[in-house]
């Protein structure tokens, strides 16, 4: 399959890390994570994401899987930027696991993100929403919720990842990037999820208008 890189229009995941849930005896690097800290992650070359589903042309399209790694089950990622407690991870590499959905909801995935040496994200749940068909693609919004932890299992904070993907027909593997920001309290997560979804929809509409103008 063809791997395409969209640059600024690449598949984007916006993650929100809820600090304030720091446990006792966290690792040296992770202990510094505080509200406002950010981290940027991109796929390694050759490890874009492929959206797999059924009913692309129908009235009830279904996304069955997000394939980050072709056939291996784990994709390769790299930290490209960060602030605060995430700075020590800049340049580090790691893995991201494939996601399977049933009825639009995924099962929990331990170490969904695993960034060497000791930053992991355990996925508790993920939901997927498929948008209206636009030519040969459909926009796909994904929300992922879980915990960031260290290698010893200490919880560093709760996290919300919102993803804006494109499901194409025929299927194409596309590059993506991840951005994360620490926020003050887990109590804000429900509102952040709604705000994140709305922001993604607005960004998607703006990109579609740009693409239409370019054509």
pLDDT tens column, 133-190: 999 999 999 888 888 889 999 888 777 777 788 999 999 998 887 776 665 555 444 5
Please tell me the predicted confidence (pLDDT) of residue 193. 53
Which residues fall within 8 angstroms of residue 113, CB to CB, at 6 or more apart? 41, 77, 94, 95, 96, 119, 120, 121
Please tell me the predicted confidence (pLDDT) of residue 142. 87
Please tell me the predicted confidence (pLDDT) of residue 187. 47
Start-to-end CA distance of the chain, whole Å, equals: 24
Please tell me the predicted confidence (pLDDT) of residue 6. 37
**Is there a contact between 131 and 204 (Cβ–Cβ < 8 Å)?**
yes
- For residue 104, the 8-state DSSP code is T
Model confidence, pTM = 0.76
CA 191 to chain CA centroid, nearest Å: 18
SS3 content of the chain, % helix, strand, coil (to 5): 20, 50, 30
According to DSSP, the residues that pair with 16 across neighbouring strands are: 160, 181
Calpha distance 37→83 (Å, rounded): 5
């Amino acid at each position: 399959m063809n791997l395409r890189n969209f640059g600024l229009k690449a598949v984007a995941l916006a993650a929100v890390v809820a600090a304030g849930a720091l446990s006792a005896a966290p690792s040296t690097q992770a202990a510094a994570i505080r509200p406002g800290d950010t981290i940027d992650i991109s796929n390694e070359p050759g490890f874009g994401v492929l959206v797999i589903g059924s009913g692309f042309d129908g009235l009830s399209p279904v996304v069955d899987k997000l394939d980050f790694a072709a056939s291996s089950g784990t994709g390769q990622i790299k930290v490209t930027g960060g602030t605060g407690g995430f700075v020590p991870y800049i340049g580090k590499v790691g893995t991201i696991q494939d996601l399977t959905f049933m009825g639009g909801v995924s099962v929990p995935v331990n170490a969904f993100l695993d960034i060497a040496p000791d930053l992991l994200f355990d996925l508790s749940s993920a939901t997927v929403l498929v948008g209206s068909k636009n030519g040969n693609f459909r926009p796909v919004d994904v929300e992922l919720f879980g915990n960031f932890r260290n290698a010893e299992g200490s919880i560093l904070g709760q996290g919300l990842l919102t993803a804006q993907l494109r499901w194409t027909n025929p299927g194409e593997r596309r590059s993506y990037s991840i951005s994360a920001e620490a926020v003050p309290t887990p109590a804000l997560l429900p509102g952040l999820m709604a705000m994140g979804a709305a922001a993604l929809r607005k960004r998607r509409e703006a990109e579609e208008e740009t693409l239409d103008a370019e054509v």
